[in-house]
Copies of this chain bind each other. A is one copy, B any other.
C-alpha cells in the first residue's frame, strides 16, 4: 500500500525520489556557497558541509566541481527562462510585457543575488569575463530569450508604441536598463527591499527609452 502514492510522483520509486531530493539539496548548498564565495573560493568540502553530506557523496552526484557549478547555473538559467516563457511571452500587449519583465527581473535578481551576474555576463549583452566558463549548450536559452524579447519589441514598434528602431536595439536597450537599475538598487539597499516606487521608476525609464511616451508616471 505504501507504494500506491508513488504513482503520483512521476512514477519514481521511493529510492529514486530520495536520490532526486539529495541532488536538489546539493544544488541548493552549492548555490549558497558559490554565491557567497565565488567559484574559486568555494570548496567542495564546504558545500558538502552545507548540504550535510560527505565529500564523497557530492561526487556520487556530480562528476566534478566544474560540473556541479554548471548544473547550478543551468538550473538558474532554466528557471529564469521558464519564468520568462510563462509570464512574459504570452502577454500580447508590448507595454504590459515590458512592465511584467521589469518585475520579473527584479525578482530574479533578488532570488539569485550572488550568481545572477554569471547568467547575465553570458548573455550577448553581458561583459566578457574569462573566469566565467559556461558550456556552449546554454547558448540556446540565450538565443531563444533574445528572439522572444525582440519579438515583443518588434510588436511594440509595429504598433507604433516603441521607437522605429531595429527590435534588437530595443531589446538591448531594455536589457541594459533593467540590469543596471536592478544592480544599483540591490547594491545600495541597506537591508531595505525594492519598493513599488523603484518599480515605477523602472517602468518609466525603460518605456521612455523604448520611445514610448508615459502618461502618469
- A127 lies within 8 A of B175 (CB): no
Nearest-CB residue, chain B, relative to A163: B208
Nearest-CB residue, chain B, relative to A186: B128
Chain copies in complex: 4
Complex-state Cα separation, A125 to B178, whole angstroms: 11
- B41 lies within 8 A of A131 (CB): yes
Which one of A124, A204, A205 has the highest number of Cβ atoms from chain B below 10 Å of its Cβ? A205
Measured between beta carbons, the chain B residues less than 8 angstroms from A163 are 208
Does chain B have a CB within 8 A of A108? no
Q: State the Cβ distance, A162 to closest chain B Cβ, in Å.
A: 11
- B121 lies within 8 A of A117 (CB): yes
Measured between beta carbons, the chain B residues less than 8 angstroms from A41 are 130-131
Q: A114 touches which one: B37, B128, B208, B209 (CB < 8 A)? A: B128
- B124 lies within 8 A of A117 (CB): no
Q: State the Cβ distance, A48 to closest chain B Cβ, in Å.
A: 15
Q: A117 touches which one: B128, B169, B179 (CB < 8 A)? A: B128
Does chain B have a CB within 8 A of A63? no
Complex-state Cα separation, A60 to B186, whole angstroms: 40
Q: A176 touches which one: B116, B169, B177, B201 (CB < 8 A)? A: B177
A172-B181, A179-B176, A184-B172 as given contacts; A120 in contact with B127, CB under 8 Å: yes
Measured between beta carbons, the chain B residues less than 8 angstroms from A208 are 163, 209, 211
Complex-state Cα separation, A124 to B188, whole angstroms: 8
Does chain B have a CB within 8 A of A140? no
Does chain B have a CB within 8 A of A173? yes
Does chain B have a CB within 8 A of A183? yes
Complex-state Cα separation, A204 to B181, whole angstroms: 20
